[in-house]
Structure 1
Amino acid sequence: MEAALGLVDMATLAELKGVTRSWRALAQRVLCSRLCHRDGQPVPTRLDEITDLDVEQLIEAGRPGDAAVAGRMLPGLARLYGYGYVVDVAAVRAANLECGMGDRDRPSLLHGAAKDALNSCISGEGEPPLRLTIAAVACAGSGVICGIPVQQLREDSVTELNLSNRGLQVPAAMLVAYLIPATSVLKNCNLLKNRFDVELAKKLAKMGMEKGIMLSGMTCDQTAATFSGQSLEPADAILIASDLKFMVVVTTLYLQVNGIGDEGAIAIAEALKVNAVLTTLSLFNGLSKNEIGPKGAKAIAEALKVNAVLTSVDLGFNSIGDDGAKAIAEALKVNAVLTELRLYSNKIGDDSAKAIAEALKVNAVLTKLLLGHNNIGDAGEKAVRDVVKGRSGFQLYL
């Protein structure tokens, strides 16, 4: 059986550790043989016997965070191997890496003296790859690095952490992602208003969901969340959406005058499918950048088809266009709770207005509709006015 498991991929072996005690022991032996065995040395049988770790295999298997866990759990760990390089763990522990965060023009975690200090701990030809240097810091870095309490996170002694608006670039955010798997007590880690991309935000959001960590500074027990005019970008909205899935009492979310774009709107829409308490959502833009377009509007529309509590949605000053507006019109045909919809200044034309009018023939719940500052002509305007004519209390703004 052990020989057969030698052919199994890393992710499967990691899952087998959680099946039974016997499977755990067997999978651990195979993993240890694969990751911790150097030629000419016996395979370690106890944690305190492990001196070498192949982090390349961990990284390529999508488990880079195990490097941080190893830094805490393996007292005799001396070397990390990967990508043709060898990292001296003791040297990294002793190195002063507390200053020198990289910037947009330097695709590295550190620069200056801090980068030189880290590189002096790594042997091999040329510049070591970013993923290896981050794994080295996560595994053995001491103190605070790039504003991140690396050592405390690795030792699992941090319950709350505010890293909002610290100018963290992608490498620094990757470091956080490498450290999160080592934590069990961290419950709130605010990462908003930094400088990392959508893909990394999605990875962080996935980790947050798995570990139960809030990533936007919100708390599970708050009833209203206001992020108005904070220049938030798509990555920020992805983190906020992740937190919405935990929140059981929040009824209002204001994200107006931000630029969350389609990616941010899609993330919020996914959260709306599972959040059963939010009643008011404001996503109007007003910045003329990172506007929500047809893709984002279609995602919101799909959420409206299944969400049973949202009563007010504001998408004003975006660019959902005719395709986005038609998708929302289709959602209105089946949505039975939305009472207020704001679609002003969204590049909507006559065809979209007519589609909305058709939806209103079967939707008797909506009582307030804002369609002003669009490209709706006389025909579209007439179609909407005719269908709501005679509805007591209906507020229509064209």
Structure 2
Amino acid sequence: MALTQKKVDVALGQSAIPVGELAFAKDGRREHSTFAYDAAWLSNAASFAISPDLPLVGGNQFRKAPSKEDSAFHFAFADTEPDGWGCRVIARDHARRRKAAQQNGKPLPNAELSEMDYLLGVDDMSRIGAIRLLNPDTGAFLRVIEDGGRGTPPLLELAHLMAASRAVEMNKETEADLRYLRGRGTSVGGMRPKCTVVDEDGHLAIGKFPSVNDDRSVTRGEVLALHLAAAAGISVADSRIVMSEDTPVALIRRFDRVEGGSRIPYLSAGSMMQASRQEDHAYTQIADTIIANSVNPGQDLQELWRRLVFNLLITNVDDHVQNHGFLHVEHGQWRLAPAFDINPFPDKDQELKLWLDEAYGPVDSIKAVVSMAGYFRLDAATVQRILGEVCAAIGNWASVAMSAAVGMSGRDLEDFAPAFEHEQIRIARTLLK
């Protein structure tokens, strides 16, 4: 197979400060990338390492995926690649383009998409964090929208977005559906159908749609979990249910943008830890990362333990390291990003994906979580206070579920009850003195 090479310029933030150059090469099935900082960035007093595996040194820094689950790009760039749903849309769009070119006798696109193709398949407007990619020849931001239209549609187009996404889920999408969804995916959120949208006040958000395979109101469940988390004292992404033609859509505000559209550098916890996606990871490892990198480690450690308790007690069993993140503050110091992708799983046992520590294994016991609180630098009084606040918030789950903000029905309450009413929450209440 022919050698494929591509280079893009890398900039940071709304003002697009030049940071360096990213190069990608594919030779057969072997893929790798290199990144080199600009000399001006290295000499900038405000500079910082944009990725934990990219120290502030001159010259090319090489990256090859250590396993098939890992990325060929350094961690900060890997975080901006499309999620599972975005990859599905990109792959479908590519296959349809090849078929159309073949039918019209035009030159065929490459048969197989490279990892660089997926990285560039997220539009500049939607890319998470502050990293931006530019064409090195023209200096233009790499956009995916080809018709001059908006890279991010307004909230009033939710019905159109949902219909196109539903068509992709059912393998019935048209060329127009794919053209409409192209570039409008996200970098977080897994395989569920979703799209980046602009809220009514101009703020960037993610619209999450029901799946054709859902047997419960997953979108309402996520908004319920986020509202309960806020009541439990956890910093969370703002969320609400928006109805689109009688269908509940979860609208989650992007926390990596601020007023005026400024962008905040973001790293997932997995990237901050330089963790392989092939391995298991633990909350204590995230705690170690906080101690090493947080601008306020005491506050973030307490927040992380609070989230650990909450995740166990609402049966959020999809709490992997990509579902925790950090936002840059200044001078290479970071803070925990607001919690996101919190979902109750009423059909699962209370055993989290993340381990408590390497010795204990997956989190499955509130007593074990409490016994480990010292690792998070918490004293007994703080443990009691946090546990009480989380239990009180979860105890009110049915009222919050039926509130106007969530809008669950009686049937929804029956569906979700096992996620909130179980043995571990009962044990947690016995631990309160």
- Normalising by structure 1, report the TM-score: 0.31
Considering Cα pairs closer than 8 Å and 6+ residues apart, tell me whether 1 or 2 has the greater RCO.
2
- Normalising by structure 2, report the TM-score: 0.29
Greater percentage in helix: 1
Greater percentage in strand: 2
Q: Which has the larger radius of gyration?
A: 1
